[in-house]
């Protein structure tokens, strides 16, 4: 059993899953297989044709998370994260970069609907729905601080270097953000900045809604990533970027307030990773049952059959943890944070092993660009550090389990 069990899905989830599966099988996968050179186009905007995003729009998955009153699809809030995970897996089975491109819209839409003033929702949600190429981005990571900031060191010296200072009826933002998903071509950004340098980041970080055309905001480059290349990862510089005061989303406690975003984000990362693993298995299962070597189809060689069984086992183990963690987030279970981080880190390591099996079982073909297996291997590898490194994720797990002792701040005794 390589796909989600229909018995645990609602009718709405089954219909959405089936629509996504058809879209991937009929549109995404054929495009990826026949245009393998496109991900290496050095004009980032030309890599993914607009028709792909238009196809995602046509089946209603580009704007999940947008409230129904603005024309979005209002998912059942009791199972919303589970639905996100289901759809993310299916899209990533076709291409993880496309999945990442889309899920940023879902995740940032959650933040906007929860924290943005009504007039801002009325302005931006319609624009998101009107333009299939409209993308959202979430800006946290900086050159001198990334997932390491999530270590349990909530002290001023660990805070963000991007600063925002109130000047009359505007906030003035200065700083730099890097490794931002959709950062190169997003139209609207949620930006986190330090507004109180005297306290730790959990008490001194605020979030802002910043349109791309805001003076002082410059998109400086598209990062050439090893995997997920159909999502254009970018870097941004803020130089006296003046944002209207009403574009402040959360004052001081933005990181803590966006807990649902971060928890859902971990689940979606694990689900996308799972989709890559499923693609590895499907492609490999087909290959070993048709490719002849040593006078027999490959699967008749026991060593090959055993590797395929190992791939399937790892995929099902990851799926089980993702489903449990998704349910915990939807139900606001006390262990949701722990399970989210477990799912993220476990998926990244297990699916990497699945991708390694796929690469090796394809032999020489697995190393050829036009064959597509090395792409899945690269896509799997990048998940090891997406949305926090493996080590930081493990630190967060143990800190949540033993908050009084694990990862105690290693600075001077007070």
Residues 196 and 203: beta-carbon distance below 8 Å: yes
* 138-177 confidence digits (pLDDT tens): 999 998 776 666 565 677 877 889 999 999 999 999 999 9
SS3 207: strand
pLDDT band at 390 (very low <50, low <70, confident <90, very high): confident
* 202-229 confidence digits (pLDDT tens): 899 999 999 999 999 999 999 999 999 9
Residues 84 and 271: beta-carbon distance below 8 Å: yes
SS3 372: coil
Residues 28 and 22: beta-carbon distance below 8 Å: no
Residue 339 phi, psi (nearest 5): -65, -35
Nearest Cα neighbor of 121 from 111, 112, 110 is 112
Mean pLDDT in residue range 389-410: 81
List domains and CATH numbers for the chain.
Answer: 6-133 (1.10.540.10), 137-256 (2.40.110.10), 257-401 (1.20.140.10)
pTM, rounded to two decimals: 0.92
Chain centre distance of CA 243? 27
Residues 393 and 349: beta-carbon distance below 8 Å: no
């Amino acid at each position: 059993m390589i796909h989600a069990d229909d018995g645990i899905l609602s009718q709405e989830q089954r219909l959405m899953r089936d629509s996504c599966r058809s879209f991937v099988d009929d549109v995404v996968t054929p495009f990826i297989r026949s245009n393998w050179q496109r991900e290496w186009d050095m004009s980032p905007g030309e890599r993914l044709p607009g028709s792909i995003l238009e196809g995602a729009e046509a089946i209603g998955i580009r704007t999940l998370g947008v409230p129904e009153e603005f024309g979005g699809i209002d998912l059942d809030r009791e199972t919303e994260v589970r639905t996100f995970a289901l759809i993310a897996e299916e899209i990533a089975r076709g291409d993880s970069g496309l999945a990442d491109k889309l899920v940023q819209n879902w995740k940032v839409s959650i933040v906007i609907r929860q924290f943005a003033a009504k007039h801002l929702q009325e302005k931006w949600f319609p624009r998101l729905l009107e333009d299939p190429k409209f993308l959202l981005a979430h800006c946290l990571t900086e050159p001198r601080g990334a997932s390491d900031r999530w270590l349990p060191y909530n002290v001023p010296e660990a805070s963000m270097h991007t600063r925002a200072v109130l000047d009359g009826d505007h906030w003035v933002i200065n700083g730099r953000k890097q490794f931002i998903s959709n950062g190169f071509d997003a139209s609207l950004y949620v930006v986190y900045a330090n507004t109180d340098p005297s306290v730790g980041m959990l008490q001194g970080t605020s979030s802002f809604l910043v349109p791309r055309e805001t003076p002082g905001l410059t998109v400086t480059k598209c990062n050439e990533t090893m995997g997920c290349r159909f999502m254009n990862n970018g870097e941004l510089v803020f130089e006296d970027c003046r944002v209207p005061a009403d574009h402040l989303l959360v004052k001081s406690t933005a990181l803590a307030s966006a807990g649902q975003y971060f928890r859902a984000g971990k689940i979606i990362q694990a689900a996308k990773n799972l989709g890559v693993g499923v693609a590895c298995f499907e492609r490999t299962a087909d290959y070993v049952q048709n490719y002849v070597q040593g006078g027999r189809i490959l699967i008749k060689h026991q060593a090959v059959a055993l590797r395929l069984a190992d791939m399937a086992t790892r995929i099902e183990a990851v799926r089980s943890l993702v489903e449990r963690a998704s349910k915990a987030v939807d139900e606001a279970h006390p262990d949701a944070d722990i399970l989210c981080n477990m799912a993220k880190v476990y998926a990244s390591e297990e699916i990497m092993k699945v991708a390694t099996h796929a690469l090796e079982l394809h032999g020489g073909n697995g190393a050829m660009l036009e064959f597509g297996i090395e792409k899945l291997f690269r896509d799997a590898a990048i998940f090891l550090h997406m949305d926090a490194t493996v080590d930081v994720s493990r630190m967060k797990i143990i800190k949540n389990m033993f908050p009084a002792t694990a990862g105690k701040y290693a600075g001077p005794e007070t």
